[in-house]
């Protein structure tokens, strides 16, 4: 083979590789698993609806009803005009903004219009006091035509958004760079690296996150996501992203993760609305034509209500998640000082019938309880299955690795609110209170305090497990420091 043949054939190979590897160069959101099970017509409808309200990775859409902070500043157009100085004409607007726009460099910011003939203009100057905006010549029209001069003017009174989607777009590019190779472009936890990882990366699309500070089954708060990005998740492949990402970058990524999560959840819930119209139902049905006709009328008549219901559901869940007062889990009683007695009580609770922790975590807390050998209903393999359908191992408490954080409050939350997606039950309010601890007519507050005390005993025990000489032989707390954690800083 001559050198020329080698060079030309390798060039052809390279070109083929490049073309095959890149496709059309656009990433896309992958439809969810349950969408794939629907009848073709239903599938098309779900995908169309999801694309309409969330867009594509290239062209994100923010649905105004959802609590997504896309970084845009909303306002109203109050005046429009042109002024001529010499040969040049300058277009200007006057706008009133709904919220403060703290910026040092308004130049280059975009204004989006949503009802008139203009779709987007670019700001040249902005006067915060008068609200007057000078525009550059770059004006995009809603009908997409590219005439240099724009004869029609925007209508006064229409709603405008400055810098629409700027945070979300920033979040998207950061997400694509740092997160998507594990978590996938759609947030489905199936990026190219995912298959090499155990545990698998989180699939956001169910809106379920394991290590949150909120009540059972809640969505995570922005703070929760921030904490995970800052601390990583020890024991998994999720590393810390601080100091690599700066604060505003973290905010942007968090917003984009929330966006992906809401998108996935929306698709999932919309799919549930179509439960009667699955492929399976179709193949089993005797009146296939009737089913198709039913689907059509369902789409025409009932879909609107379903959408409203799903939208309301999402909106409430994700808004509440950031309201720590209503959704957060916090104790009423401070941590019981760590002591041998407290640990012993914790151990009692751990092995006791009431909580039955040992059923999953095992008698020696190694995460090998009898439940891990059992077959769950309909499962092909033994063990507990999490919300994503994968076998999940109860935590081995002897390793001293705490995925959701090692602070007492973190463990408290795990016990009280459980880890719903991976079947760890919520034990809040279920603690057995020792006889004589409470009077028969104890107030609800007293009962809550007594409950919390029991949780803290359990926390103290769990924190001592890695230091056991042998299973069940509780180590004595080493020093006064561990006895009264709150007072140590002053003593040193």
Q: Which residues contact other proteins (rule: CB under 8 A)? A: 178, 181, 193, 213, 223, 226-227, 230-232, 234, 237, 239-244, 324, 330-335, 400, 406-409, 412, 456, 463-464, 466-467, 475, 477-479, 481-482, 485-486, 488-489, 492
Q: Rounded to an integer, what distance in angstroms lies between the CA atom of residue 317 and that of residue 44? A: 27
Q: Rounded to an integer, what distance in angstroms lies between the CA atom of residue 57 and that of residue 157? A: 31
Question: Whole-angstrom distance between the N-terminal and C-terminal Cα of the chain?
Answer: 78
Helix pair angle (247-273, 40-54), 10° resolution: 150
Minimum CB–partner distance for residue 465 and other proteins (Å): 11
Q: Phi/psi class of residue 418: alpha, beta or left (left: φ > 0; alpha: ψ in -120 to 50)?
A: left
Minimum CB–partner distance for residue 66 and other proteins (Å): 24
Q: Rounded to an integer, what distance in angstroms lies between the CA atom of residue 49 and that of residue 256? A: 20
Both tokens of residue 112?
């989006």
- Helix (H) / strand (E) element for 81: namely strand 73-85
Residue 267 or 338 with smaller CB distance to other proteins: 338
Minimum CB–partner distance for residue 190 and other proteins (Å): 16
Residue 140 or 242 with smaller CB distance to other proteins: 242
Q: Rounded to an integer, what distance in angstroms lies between the CA atom of residue 148 and that of residue 382? A: 68
| Total Cβ atoms within 10 A of residue 17 | 10
Q: Rounded to an integer, what distance in angstroms lies between the CA atom of residue 489 and that of residue 282? A: 67
Minimum CB–partner distance for residue 178 and other proteins (Å): 7
Q: Do 207 and 224 meet the contact criterion of CB atoms below 8 Å apart?
A: no
Minimum CB–partner distance for residue 202 and other proteins (Å): 16
**Bridge partners for 135 per DSSP:** 123
- Helix (H) / strand (E) element for 159: namely strand 159-162
CA 264 to chain centre: 10
Residue 150 or 401 with smaller CB distance to other proteins: 401
- Helix (H) / strand (E) element for 122: namely strand 118-126
Residue 64 or 481 with smaller CB distance to other proteins: 481
**Bridge partners for 278 per DSSP:** 38
Q: Do 215 and 329 meet the contact criterion of CB atoms below 8 Å apart?
A: yes
Residue 74 or 181 with smaller CB distance to other proteins: 181
Residue 15 or 332 with smaller CB distance to other proteins: 332
Minimum CB–partner distance for residue 349 and other proteins (Å): 18
Residue 278 or 460 with smaller CB distance to other proteins: 460
Residue 177 or 304 with smaller CB distance to other proteins: 177
Both tokens of residue 243?
């100091």
For residue 94, give the 3-state DSSP assignment. strand
Helices (H) and strands (E) in the chain, counts: 17, 8
Residue 231 or 371 with smaller CB distance to other proteins: 231
Minimum CB–partner distance for residue 334 and other proteins (Å): 4
DSSP state of 479: S
Minimum CB–partner distance for residue 240 and other proteins (Å): 5
Residue 372 or 460 with smaller CB distance to other proteins: 460
Minimum CB–partner distance for residue 425 and other proteins (Å): 21
Minimum CB–partner distance for residue 32 and other proteins (Å): 26
Residue 114 or 467 with smaller CB distance to other proteins: 467
Rg of the chain (C-alpha set): 29
Minimum CB–partner distance for residue 233 and other proteins (Å): 10
Helix pair angle (40-54, 288-297), 10° resolution: 20
């Amino acid at each position: 083979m001559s050198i020329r043949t080698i060079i030309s054939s390798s060039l052809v190979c390279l070109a083929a590789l490049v073309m095959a590897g890149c496709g059309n160069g656009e990433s896309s959101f992958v439809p969810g698993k349950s969408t794939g099970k629907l009848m073709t017509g239903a599938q098309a409808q779900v995908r169309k609806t999801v694309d309409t309200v969330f867009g594509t990775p290239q062209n994100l859409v923010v649905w105004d009803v959802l609590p997504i902070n896309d970084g845009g500043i909303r306002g109203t157009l109050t005046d429009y005009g042109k002024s001529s100085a010499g040969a040049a004409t300058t277009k200007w607007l006057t706008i009133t903004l709904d919220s403060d726009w703290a910026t040092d460099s308004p130049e280059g910011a975009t204004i989006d219009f949503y009802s008139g003939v203009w779709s987007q203009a670019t700001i040249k100057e902005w006067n915060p006091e008068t609200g007057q905006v000078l525009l550059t010549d770059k004006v995009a029209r809603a009908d997409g035509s590219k005439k240099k001069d724009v004869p029609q003017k925007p209508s006064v009174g229409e709603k405008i958004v400055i810098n629409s989607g700027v945070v979300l777009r920033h979040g998207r590019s950061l997400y694509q760079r740092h997160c998507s190779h594990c978590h996938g472009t759609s947030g489905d936890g199936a990026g190219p690296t995912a298959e090499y990882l155990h545990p698998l990366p989180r699939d956001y699309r169910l809106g379920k996150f394991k290590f949150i500070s909120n009540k059972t089954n809640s969505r995570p708060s922005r703070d929760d996501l921030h904490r995970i990005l800052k601390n990583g998740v020890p024991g998994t492949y999720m590393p810390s992203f601080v100091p690599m990402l700066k604060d505003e970058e973290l905010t942007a990524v968090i917003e984009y993760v929330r966006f992906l999560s809401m998108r996935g959840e929306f698709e999932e819930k919309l799919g549930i609305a179509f439960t009667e119209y699955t492929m399976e139902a179709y193949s089993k049905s005797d009146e296939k034509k009737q089913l198709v006709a039913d689907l059509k009328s369902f789409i025409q008549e009932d879909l609107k209500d379903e959408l409203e219901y799903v939208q309301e559901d999402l909106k409430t869940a994700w808004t509440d998640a950031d309201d720590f007062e209503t959704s957060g889990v916090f104790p009423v009683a401070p941590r019981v000082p760590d002591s041998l007695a407290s640990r012993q009580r914790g151990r009692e609770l751990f092995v006791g019938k009431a909580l039955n922790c040992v059923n999953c975590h095992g008698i020696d807390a190694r995460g090998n309880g009898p439940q891990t050998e059992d077959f769950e209903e309909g499962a092909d393999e033994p063990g507990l299955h999490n919300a994503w359908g994968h076998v999940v191992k109860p935590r081995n408490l002897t390793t001293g690795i705490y995925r959701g954080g090692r602070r007492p409050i973190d463990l408290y939350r795990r016990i009280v609110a459980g880890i719903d997606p991976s079947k760890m039950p919520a034990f809040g309010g279920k603690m057995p209170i020792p006889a004589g601890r409470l009077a028969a007519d104890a107030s609800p507050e007293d009962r809550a305090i007594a409950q919390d005390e029991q949780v803290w005993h359990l926390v103290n025990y769990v924190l001592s497990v890695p230091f056991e000489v042998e299973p069940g032989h509780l180590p004595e707390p080493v020093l006064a420091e561990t006895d009264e954690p709150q007072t140590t800083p002053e003593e040193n």
